[in-house]
C-alpha cells in the first residue's frame, strides 16, 4: 500500500527513505522541485510526507474552502510523479503541540526513519512555527540525516505557491493558475442530481458540489470534462455559482457538455477550468438567460477550439 495514514508502526520496507516534506497542496513547480530534490538525494527512490488535515484546517476551521487538491487526487499525483510512498501525518493537538526538535525526533527519525529530507526555503515546523529550514538542517546534522533546502521558484512574476494559485482562481484567472500549476486546475467530484432546470432550457448540466475544494470566482467558464475510467476530455461550458435567476442555492459547478447525451449521475468526473468568460448574473427573464447561455456556449467553443 503506497499511502500510510500516520508515522507509527510502519513496515520496515517503508522506512529509511529520502523524504520530500511539506503541505503539497496543488503540486506546483515548487512542490515538484522539492520532490525532485528528494529523488536525487535518494538516488531515484523517494517518498512524500504531508499533513492531513492541513495545519490551516486545524487552526482555522472556520475558513472558507481552500484545498487546491482533494487528498486522494493529491496522493495519486504524487505516486504518478514517482514517489514510492505517501505519509499522511495526522495534524491534531498532539502534533500541533510538538516542539521543532520533538517533531524531528519522534516523527521524522523514530517514525519515518528518514535518511534525507528535502523542504522548500520557507518551510516552518513545530509548535507556533518555531522551526525553519535552517533549523531542520541543524537538527539533521545532529541526528544523522541530510537536508536539502530548495530555493524559490517563480513564474509570470508570481511566486510559485499555493497562495498565488488560490488567488488566481478566486480572481477569475484560471490561465494564471494553470501556468503556476503546470496545467489546468481540475475540480473533481461526484455528479449529483440537481434541479433539472437546465434540460428544460436545452442545456442539461452535470452538477458537482466542490465541498472543501477552493471556490473559484463565480461565473461562466470554458471547460473540459473527463469521466472517470475514460481518456477523452470533452469540451463544455460551465457555471459556478448560485443561479440567482432561478433561485439562490449553495454553489454548484454546473457543466454543459457539448454533443453529449448520457446520464452520468453518481459518476466521478474531472473538470478543467480553461478560461473565465463572465461573472454570474441575475437576468430579468428566463428568455434573456437562455439567450445568454447560447452566447456563452458559442464563446466557449471558440476558446476551446483555439486552445487545442
Phi then psi dihedrals of residue 10, to 5 deg? -75, 150
Domains 3-152 and 184-306 share a fold: no
pLDDT value for 198: 58
SS3 12: helix
> CA-to-CA distance for 98 and 104, rounded, in angstroms?
9
Residue 157 has pLDDT above 60, yes or no: no
Q: What is the pLDDT of residue 202?
A: 74
CA dihedral 38→44→45→47, nearest 10 degrees, is: 30
Domain ranges of the chain: 3-152, 154-183, 184-306
Higher pLDDT, 162 or 200: 162
Cα dihedral 104/74/207/269 (nearest 10): -160
Q: Binning pLDDT at 50, 70 and 90, where does residue 194 land?
A: low
| Residues in CB range of 292: below 8 A, 6 or more apart | 281, 283
pLDDT at 196 over 70: no
Q: What is the mean pLDDT of residues 34-41?
A: 98
CA 230 – CA 207 distance, rounded (Å): 18
3-152: which CATH topology? Rossmann fold (3.40.50)
pTM of the model: 0.90
Edge to edge, the sheet with strand 146-150 lists: 3-4, 86-90, 47-52, 18-21, 116-120, 146-150
Per-residue pLDDT at 199 exceeds 80: no
Q: What pLDDT, on a 0 to 100 scale, did the predictor assign at position 243?
A: 78
Would the pLDDT of 158 be above 70?
no
pLDDT (average), residues 123-147: 97
Residue among 20, 23, 22, 51 at smallest CA distance from 36: 20
What's the confidence (pLDDT) of residue 172? 98
- In tens, the pLDDT along 41-71 reads 999 999 999 999 999 999 999 999 999 999 9
pLDDT score, position 86? 98
Mean pLDDT, residues 117-140: 97
- pLDDT reported for residue 189: 95
Which of the four pLDDT bands, split at 50, 70 and 90, describes residue 153?
confident
pLDDT of 195 higher than 80: no
pLDDT for residue 245 is more than 70: no
Average pLDDT over the chain reads 93
Angle between helices 174-181 and 162-170 (to 10 degrees): 160
C-alpha to C-alpha distance for 12 and 245, rounded to whole angstroms: 59
Cα–Cα dist 145/25, whole Å: 25
| Average pLDDT, integer, range 204-211 | 94
DSSP H helical segments within the chain, as ranges? 29-41, 55-59, 71-80, 93-97, 100-102, 133-143, 162-170, 174-181, 197-201, 286-306
pLDDT at 105 over 80: yes
Q: Which of 10, 27, 25 has the alpha carbon at shortest distance from 80?
A: 27
CATH number assigned to the domain covering 184-306:
2.40.30.30
Residue 161 has pLDDT above 90, yes or no: no
- Read off the pLDDT of each residue in 107-130 and give the average, rounded to a whole number: 97
Amino acid at each position: 500500500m503506497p499511502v500510510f495514514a500516520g508515522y507509527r508502526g510502519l513496515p520496515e520496507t517503508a522506512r529509511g527513505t529520502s523524504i520530500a516534506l511539506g503541505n503539497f497542496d496543488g503540486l506546483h513547480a515548487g512542490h515538484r522541485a522539492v520532490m525532485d530534490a528528494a529523488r536525487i538525494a535518494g538516488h531515484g527512490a523517494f517518498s512524500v510526507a504531508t499533513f492531513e488535515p492541513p495545519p490551516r484546517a486545524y487552526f482555522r476551521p472556520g475558513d472558507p474552502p481552500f484545498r487546491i487538491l482533494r487528498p486522494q487526487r493529491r496522493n495519486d499525483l504524487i505516486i504518478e510523479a514517482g514517489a514510492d510512498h505517501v505519509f499522511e501525518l495526522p495534524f491534531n493537538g498532539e502534533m500541533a503541540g510538538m516542539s521543532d526538535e520533538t517533531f524531528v525526533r519522534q516523527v521524522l527519525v523514530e517514525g519515518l526513519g528518514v535518511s534525507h529530507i528535502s523542504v522548500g526555503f520557507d518551510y516552518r515546523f513545530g509548535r507556533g512555527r518555531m522551526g525553519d529550514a535552517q533549523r531542520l538542517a541543524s537538527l539533521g546534522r545532529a541526528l544523522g540525516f541530510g537536508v536539502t533546502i530548495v530555493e524559490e521558484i517563480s513564474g509570470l512574476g508570481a511566486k510559485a505557491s499555493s497562495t498565488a494559485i488560490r488567488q488566481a482562481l478566486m480572481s477569475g484567472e484560471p490561465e494564471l493558475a494553470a501556468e503556476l500549476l503546470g496545467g489546468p486546475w481540475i475540480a473533481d467530484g461526484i455528479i449529483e442530481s440537481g434541479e433539472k432546470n437546465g434540460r428544460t432550457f436545452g442545456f442539461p448540466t452535470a452538477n458537482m458540489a466542490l465541498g472543501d475544494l477552493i471556490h473559484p470566482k463565480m461565473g461562466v467558464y470554458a471547460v473540459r470534462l473527463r469521466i472517470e475510467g475514460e481518456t477523452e476530455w470533452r469540451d463544455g461550458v460551465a457555471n459556478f455559482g448560485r443561479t440567482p435567476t432561478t433561485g439562490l442555492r449553495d454553489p454548484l459547478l454546473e457543466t454543459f457538455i457539448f454533443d453529449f447525451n448520457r446520464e452520468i449521475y453518481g459518476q466521478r468526473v474531472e473538470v478543467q477550468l480553461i478560461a473565465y468568460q463572465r461573472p454570474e448574473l441575475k437576468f430579468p427573464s428566463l428568455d434573456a438567460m437562455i439567450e445568454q447561455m447560447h452566447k456563452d456556449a458559442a464563446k466557449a467553443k471558440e476558446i476551446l477550439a483555439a486552445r487545442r
